[in-house]
Structure 1
Amino acid sequence: MFGRWWGVLRAWPYTFGVALAAAIGITAIVMSARLGIALKDPEGFLGPAYVRLPVMGLAFFALGIVPMALRRAGVRHFGRGVKDIIRDEWSWSRVFHIATGLLTFYVCYVSYRNIKGFLPTVREGVNFDTMLSRWDYWLMFGNHPADILHSVLGTGFAAQVLATVYVSYLPLIPVTLAAFLVLNKDFSLGAWYATALSLNWVLGAAAYYVFPSLGPAYSAATLFDDLPTTGVTQLQYSLFVNAAQNYENPTQAPIWGIGAFASLHVSVTLTAVLFFQRTDQPRYLQITAWIYFVLTVIATIYFGWHFIADDVAGAFIGWISVALAGWATGNGFWHQRHHKLQLTAEGDSRPSDTDTLANPA
């Protein structure tokens, strides 16, 4: 009996992700109770995460069925076309897997944000900015990396471009997750991406506690005085205000949001890049993702969010997250699997004879 259930759990692509979400969720609850700091839901400009994710899922659901309904039934019988597509393509199993992916991501993300928020209370007075800064100067032969980038790229147009790239990360990652969960019938594909992103939050939270640090923008702010006002500088100021409130009264302040080691901007964007590559997404999408990743890495140093070591650690977290999630969801640890995202629900998305393990990535 046990062997039968164990076999079912191993075959389900979300087993590891759900267990991971449960573990970090319980950890956040226990830490909250012991520290006397209530759990908070981090809010973005699109509202709370528990609102954003379902809305994105529904938006991509509409994106998947509306064009098909128009092609099948035309404008006159559009309603009937939608009903037919939902009946033929959308089983309760598919809806359950999508909901599981969104919930796994949500629990891991919210738990990560709260665990990160407990950092100044748990590791009070511990800071590694001096050590990380010395490493930067040693690697750059006595120069600060941000100074080099400001000299090479300038502090005008480049600042605006890099700020746009950096801030766009906030809504872009949930959007890509919703797309892969909703617009494909291969459940293991969405599970792979959702689990990989969730691993980023868990490993990132652990990294913050290993080397608590603020980043150059907060520990050496004068290096960035020449930068113009952008969305990034506004975000940095907002986090600074939150930090001051946390130092004064952590039980009443918004979630603490400052943490340099490791860079989750780097880890999460690299996760997306590697996932697109290993699932053989269209070439234009892979190239765009790589460009976005490189610009993100530059932005983290340019604006003083991170030290070089933070980005290196973030890259490792991104790589190991994709690899572990691939293994946990049955998609392989080292290998590339060919199953592209289908932008509609038409056709059978089950792996074909060519969807076998290919060359090692």
Structure 2
Amino acid sequence: MGHAQAVTSTPPWLLRLIALVLGFAAVTVWRSYEVGIALRDPGGQYLAGKIVISAVVFSVLVIVDAGARTPRRTWNTRTLLDTVRRRWDARRLALAGAALLCYHLVYFCYHNLKSWDVLNAPRDATLTAIDRWLFFGHTPAVLLHDLLGENLAAWVLIVIYESFPTLVTVSFVAAVALADEIRDGAVLVAAMCWAWVLGTASYYAIPSLGPFEDRPQDFAGLPTSIVTETQARYLAQRAHLLADPAAHDAFAQVSAFASLHVAITTVLTLMAAHYGLRRTTIVLSIYLAGTVVATVYLGWHFALDDIAGLAIGAGAVALGKLTIYPVLVRSRDAVCVE
């Protein structure tokens, strides 16, 4: 009886992750009541659709993982399915599903809170002044345009910036699907949840729209692309929400401080190092550097946003590790975790 209860009970690490989600959800519900705007998931972009995509990615990765764990000379449908069944019993699937659902709920809350942040007065002029002070009277984006040009470099950096959503979707699902223990993969999930939470706090601490809105003349020489179209759409969304917050399709997606592209990429880079993936860490470090340049070059973020993003990413990783593997008891001879 006791053994059966121990096997089926929810592990403490998952309870702590759920507590984080519930706390963030409570803040979201309170803010929704305060601004008088209902929670929204337009087109299933941030919850329903993301869950479906994650389920597909998870299924593919489970099969890939089974192939890696099955001797190649014995590969066939039956042996691969046997490996999947042995590895993915009901409890393991439930833990994986719960961890992934926690991520999606935090991401959903994050986007709603981000949308309502546009109701706060932006402080872009202050961030521009700080950037110009940091770069001795120059605008960092203009310096990058002069250094890299505004043609080929623009397209390379656009590719880097636009690849971010795919990288994120695959990464947090892969951490859960490929880890030997779900708990180990949940460290990355928790770190990413913390990054969205801390990022939301930064949005409200310093509301802003971004250099592309504050100094559009600095980016007039860049080619028309998916980035410029997205920036125009984001400003239109903001104007629509401000004009009619109660409209069913009023939903905004623009905030600059801090850069969560940088924060989340920092999380992925540090977690790759945590998992001992040396080559992946090197590749992600290069990608992180490219992301930092892209955010400023394309006008999405101020340089200060990226500095804050790096700090948020590092802090989120530390909090993610503590959430899943907290040190509860210290003694002279041992450290016990639960």
Task: Find the partner of 1:278 among 270, 274, 281.
Answer: 274
Give the Å deviation of 1:70: 7.9
Structure-1 residue corresponding to 2:59: 58
Structure-2 residue corresponding to 1:156: 151
Contact 2:62/2:177 (<8 A) preserved: yes
Contact 1:188/1:331 (<8 A) preserved: no
Question: Which ranges of structure 2 fall in alignment gaps of 5 or more residues?
Answer: 328-334
Contact 1:216/1:307 (<8 A) preserved: yes
Alignment partners' CA distance in 1, 2:209 and 2:61: 37
Structure-1 residue corresponding to 2:166: 171
Structure-1 residue corresponding to 2:202: 207
Alignment partners' CA distance in 2, 1:45 and 1:109: 7
Alignment partners' CA distance in 2, 1:46 and 1:134: 37
Structure-1 residue corresponding to 2:13: 13
Structure-1 residue corresponding to 2:331: none
Judged with a 3 Å threshold, the aligned counterparts in structure 2 of structure 1 residues 293 and 225 are, in CA distance, closer, same or farther, namely same
Alignment partners' CA distance in 2, 1:135 and 1:61: 47
Give the Å deviation of 1:255: 2.2
1:204-230: CA deviations, max 9, x gaps?
Answer: 111111111111101111110000022
1:26-59: CA deviations, max 9, x gaps?
Answer: 2212322342312112555998222222222122
Give the Å deviation of 1:10: 11
Alignment partners' CA distance in 2, 1:74 and 1:223: 57
Alignment partners' CA distance in 1, 2:222 and 2:11: 52
Instruction: State yes or no: 1:147 paired with 2:145.
Output: no
Alignment partners' CA distance in 2, 1:210 and 1:81: 54
Give the Å deviation of 1:69: 5.8
Contact 1:56/1:178 (<8 A) preserved: yes
Structure-2 residue corresponding to 1:120: 118
1:277-299: CA deviations, max 9, x gaps?
Answer: 12211x22111100100000001
Structure-2 residue corresponding to 1:36: 36
Q: TM-score, normalised by structure 2?
A: 0.88
Structure-2 residue corresponding to 1:310: 305
Structure-1 residue corresponding to 2:254: 258
Contact 1:192/1:331 (<8 A) preserved: no
1:14 is paired with a residue whose SS is helix
Structure-2 residue corresponding to 1:104: 102
Give the Å deviation of 1:66: 4.5
Alignment partners' CA distance in 2, 1:224 and 1:87: 54
Question: Which ranges of structure 1 fall in alignment gaps of 5 or more residues?
Answer: 333-355, 357-361
Query: Which range moves more in the overlay, 172-181 or 8-17?
Result: 8-17
5 Å-filtered alignment, 1:286-297, equals: 286-297=281-292
Alignment partners' CA distance in 1, 2:254 and 2:156: 23
1:252-271: CA deviations, max 9, x gaps?
Answer: 23421111111101100001
1:312-345: CA deviations, max 9, x gaps?
Answer: 111111000001111221177xxxxxxxxxxxxx
1:143 is paired with a residue whose SS is coil
Give the Å deviation of 1:188: 2.2
Structure-2 residue corresponding to 1:338: none
Alignment partners' CA distance in 2, 1:9 and 1:228: 56
Alignment partners' CA distance in 1, 2:166 and 2:48: 11
Judged with a 3 Å threshold, the aligned counterparts in structure 2 of structure 1 residues 74 and 56 are, in CA distance, closer, same or farther, namely closer
Alignment partners' CA distance in 2, 1:115 and 1:157: 36
Contact 2:123/2:206 (<8 A) preserved: yes
Alignment partners' CA distance in 1, 2:68 and 2:325: 32
Query: Which range moves more in the overlay, 17-26 or 32-41?
Result: 32-41
Structure-2 residue corresponding to 1:343: none
Give the Å deviation of 1:9: 9.6
Contact 2:244/2:250 (<8 A) preserved: no
Judged with a 3 Å threshold, the aligned counterparts in structure 2 of structure 1 residues 200 and 223 are, in CA distance, closer, same or farther, namely same
Aligned length: 321
Alignment partners' CA distance in 2, 1:280 and 1:144: 38
1:48 is paired with a residue whose SS is helix
Contact 2:256/2:305 (<8 A) preserved: yes
Structure-2 residue corresponding to 1:182: 177
* Cα-Cα RMSD: 2.5
Task: Find the partner of 2:237 among 227, 239, 242.
Answer: 242
Alignment partners' CA distance in 2, 1:74 and 1:272: 32
Structure-1 residue corresponding to 2:214: 219
Contact 2:118/2:254 (<8 A) preserved: no
